[in-house]
Amino acid sequence: MLIVEELHMLLLRPDGRVETSVSVNRLYGEVAAVLTDLALRGRIRLTEERHPIVEIASTEPTGHPVLDSTLDRIVHMRGKRLQSLIMRPKLDPLDVVVESLVVQGVLIRGERGFFGWGSARTPESDPAPELVLRARLAEVIAGTREATRADLSLLSILQNLGAAHAILREECAGASAKDLKARIEELVSGSTDASGAVVGDAVAAALNTAMAAAMMAAMTPAVVAATVS
């Protein structure tokens, strides 16, 4: 399963709505996740700059509808900075991610809100994939399982969204938000994969920085408005 698909499962409430704490910033997390998926499959690469630019490494289809639809959109945005792409609604993979999870039998399409307004709810049809995912992340946090790139990407994105502790409250075995943040930082900065390569690589670091900058940029107008009023 893709990183972006696993992230979406974690962000959903039992009723099929996105968790309130991340509803505003979901876009940044899911775009970052799908870009990570594309980078790990060699379709995009980042330049080595303070504010990296996303380059197209290959336009060869991956065979996965979520990734290929995103790749098609990015091709027309080549040369853009990573932070800019993370903030672009046009790159939001939500619809194709939901469709993919519905096809896999993980989600089902439910009812819309009151009077048929709002987006359709997509509650879980099969809870097993999320249960397995949460058990995996719990073991990674506890140090009893070696972290994969997907694990570290998920933990890092959740932390950047400010939602790691809220979403992984049971999986962090009573750790405080501060302690969980420190644990995630430790994992991302020092974990290695099966080949011995550092998992917290330049792509992950760049995505972390870009996500933080994107969220800060999004919050600034609200902060300024509150200060003025």
Spell out a b/e string for 11-24, using b for 16 or more CB atoms within 10 Å of the CB, else e.
bbeeebbbeeebee
pLDDT of 112 strictly over 80: no
Q: Give residue-wise pLDDT tens across range 155-207.
A: 999 999 999 999 999 999 999 999 999 999 999 887 554 444 443 466 777 88
pLDDT of 116 strictly over 70: no
Domain count, the chain: 1
**Neighbouring residues of 163: CB distance < 8 A, sequence distance ≥ 6:** 11, 19, 21, 22
Per cent of the chain over pLDDT 70 is 85
Question: pTM value?
Answer: 0.86
Q: Which domain holds residue 57?
A: 3-228
- The pLDDT value given to residue 220: 52
Is the distance from CB of 85 to CB of 77 less than 8 angstroms? yes
Q: Which of 16, 17, 22, 9 is nearest to 166 (CA)?
A: 22
DSSP state of 191: -
d(CA 104, CA 6): 13
Region of 79 on the Ramachandran plot (φ > 0 left; ψ -120 to 50 alpha; else beta): left
Q: Give residue-wise pLDDT tens across range 43-62.
A: 999 888 888 899 999 999 99
What is the average per-residue pLDDT within 99-116? 80
More confident residue, 193 or 89: 89
On the CB side of 37, CA atoms within 13 Å amount to 26
d(CA 37, CA 1): 10
CATH code, domain carrying 94: 1.10.3630.10
pLDDT of 66 strictly over 90: yes
CA 45 to chain centre: 18
d(CA 197, CA 204): 13
Q: Give residue-wise pLDDT tens across range 124-149.
A: 999 999 999 999 999 999 999 999 98
Angstrom CA distances, 160 to 32, 154, 203, 211, stand at: 11, 10, 15, 7
